[in-house]
Structure 1
Amino acid sequence: MKFLRRCLVLLVLVAAALVGGAVWWLQAPLALAADSVEVSIEPGTSPRKVANLWSQAGVQSNAFLLYEWFRWSGQANKIRAGSYQIGRGTTPRALLAKMVRGDEVLATVRLIDGWTFRQFRAELARAPHLKQATAGMSEAQLMTAIGAPGQRAEGRFYPDTYAYSKGASDLIVLKRAHRTMQRQLEAAWAERASDTPIKSMDEALVLASIVEKETGAAAERGLVAGVFVNRLRIGMPLQTDPTVIYGLGESFDGNLRRRDLVTDGPYNSYMRAGLPPTPIAMPGKAALLAAVRPERTKALYFVARGNGTSQFSDNLADHNRAVNQYQR
């Protein structure tokens, strides 16, 4: 009987020691092979594999102990996929909490107002830690991959700064930019002027892209839009260089020549009245709003002053004088 009692006491002491050791381990900083350790967890990765990834990345703790902690905590199945980074001083408890919260380390890519889709793709290709899932895709294949089959890509992605998990696919960024542009376009269209000659959201997007490319000073964006809307109302060609340049594509060498202006094509707004068939760039929110609610003006012309602003004119005679003053 005494022997059994002693065994029981011994077992209690061992259990208490184990519990105490476990509590101490959970609250003690993990030993790291470097000042910071980073791991990317793919969707569907098992908790055991997660523990192994941390151990392989430089957490100098037994992967089995990490896994047992994840499992014993009851939160193993709540670990989220993503990219995580820890530094010295991180405890096993804090490590698990970070992954359960989804407290990722993110990279960013900035897509600029007025860029073309080709420029968008080039910037995504340069973005750090972004998987290039669309590298070999045509435009049509890419649009199908993001859930917009048959839609032209130009103008359909909203320019903004996008954060993403390291190791994420460029498709994730493109899908987000595409959804954001659709929301921004719908919001702008809901605020359109009642007398606008623009007949659809697609036309609004095309006009907004032209306004984006033609505006030098942000304060004049509404006036620029007003000039183009006035021209559309009377059937006058838009006569805007950026559409011609867009139509030239990669053959444009930075010098727009007279022969380019008199060579007919779908994007030559000197030869054809109305809007071109697609947007020519990715417009921002201000350009979208200007296209549907332009500033009321009688102006039909404008010319750059050379300081980022423009001179607006109601008639051709005044415009020619402005051209002589500021351009010639």
Structure 2
Amino acid sequence: MLRLVKFLAVLVIVAGVAAFAGYRYWESRLEAPIAVEEETLYEVPRGAGFNRAVADLAERGVIEDVWAFRLLTRLEPETIPRLRTGEYMLEPGMSGRDLIELLGSDRVVTYPLTIPEGWTFRQMRAHLDAAPKLENRTEGLSDEEVMALLDREGRFPEGW
């Protein structure tokens, strides 16, 4: 009987040490730097969930240990942010946890757009149409149709 108690005690100790070592290894994988050597633009597409983003980042070679991120959703679901659609700048030296925090933040990449004073409505529309990251929803519409969309139907577009 004493042998059985000693065996069970050793078994519990070994299991405890193994669980602790496994937990520390998992944490080290989340704290490891992501695989980017220079600033890299990453876009979270509309409607993407955490697992989809993790799979996409792994496919691009940014993260290696997909299992660690998936396990995070099971062990610490409260730390998984709701991803925000947009473009994010991934930086060298970021950890996996930093990456998760970034993708749930509002620190999206912004693009400046200046419309000089004195431009005509037509010049402004051409400038907006040429903006690389701006979604154009008025292409092919006349000035009158654009004004109608702005609830300014029948008004001359200059100055608005």
Q: Which TM-score applies when normalising by structure 2?
A: 0.79
- Unmatched 5+ stretches in structure 2: none
Q: 1:144 to 1:57 in 2, by over 3 A?
A: farther
1:42 aligns with 2:61: no
Instruction: Give, in whole Å, the separation in 2 of the partners of 1:45 and 1:35.
Output: 24
Task: Quote how far apart the aligned CAs of 1:144 are.
Answer: 4.6
* C-alpha distance in structure 2 between counterparts of 1:19 and 1:139, whole Å: 62
Of 52, 58, 62, the match for 1:59: 62
The superposition leaves residues 212-259 of structure 1 with CA deviations (integer Å, 9 ceiling, x where unpaired) of: xxxxxxxxxxxxxxxxxxxxxxxxxxxxxxxxxxxxxxxxxxxxxxxx
2:1 matched to 1:27? no
CA deviation profile, 1:93-148 (whole Å, cap 9, x unmatched): 11122222211111111111001111111111222222323223333443454x42
Separation in 2, partners of 1:9, 1:125: 67
Q: Counterpart in 2 of 1:17?
A: 21
Q: Between the two structures, name the one with larger relative contact order (CA 8 Å, sep ≥ 6).
A: 2
Contact 1:70 1:76 in 2 (8 A): yes
Aligned-residue Cα RMSD (Å) equals 2.4
Structure 1 unpaired stretches of 5+: 157-328
Q: For 2:134, what is the secondary structure of its paired residue?
A: coil
The CA distance in 2 between the partners of 1:40 and 1:12, in whole Å, is 41
Moved over 6 A (4+): none
Q: Percent identity?
A: 25
- Name the SS of the counterpart of 1:102 in structure 2: coil
Bigger Rg, structure 1 or 2: 1
CA distance in 2, matches of 1:24, 1:18: 10
Kept after mapping to 2: 8 A contact 1:37/1:59: no
1:126 is matched with 130
Check 1:38–1:8 CA distance in 2 against 1; reply closer, same or farther (3 A cut): same
Corresponding residue number in structure 1 for 2:111: 107
Cα shift at 1:83: 0.9
